[in-house]
Structure 1
């Protein structure tokens, strides 16, 4: 079993940087509406121009920064796990996000 997991990790290892970027982007897509709703709620008492400006900053720079700095952080966290489990953790993370997103859609 360990050898099977190790072969999965070896097959995916060249793509870990891209996969961590994909994981962060997927999380932002799934939770983006919640983030936007929270920011909208916080900014609701502010003037229209300030609300629009801050929302544009959040979308342009906030999500960009979360993606840019979140992907290396995800990769760094996954590298803490034993080598033979790293591929399985990536695959499991994508499956978990997919299941969560599908269930959240119906709530």
Structure 2
């Protein structure tokens, strides 16, 4: 049991310097997986409007909306990561990425 705890602790310690990048990649991956769903709904919502309005809304959402979501959600995800006990952080991060891979496979991205 002590060996397992040592490995989990080393894994968490190794990832410690990369929590910000890990959180950013989680947010970006979620946007890639589910961004098209949001874009389709947005397209349906703005389809009755003029071309210029549709274009402006699309640019605002894709350029600024997704960017702001990434900038503000990544620190929040990092704080969630930091709430996990140190011993389980590394394995939890791996589990989240496996879940994201499953979700991507389920949506036929892989």
TM-score for the superposition, normalised by structure 1: 0.92
2:12 to 9, 22, 27: 9
Runs of 4+ in structure 1 deviating by more than 2 angstroms, as ranges, are none
1:32 to 18, 31, 35: 35
Gaps of 5+ in 1: none
Q: CA deviation at 1:71?
A: 0.6
CA RMSD of aligned residues (A): 1.3
Residue of structure 2 equivalent to 1:55? 58
Q: CA deviation at 1:2?
A: 2.3
Q: Hey, what's the Cα distance between the residues in 2 that align with 1:35 and 1:80?
A: 29
Give 1 or 2 for the bigger CA radius of gyration: 2
Count of aligned pairs between the two proteins: 106
Gaps of 5+ in 2: none
TM-score for the superposition, normalised by structure 2: 0.90
Q: For the Cα contact (< 8 Å) 2:33–2:107, is it kept in 1?
A: no
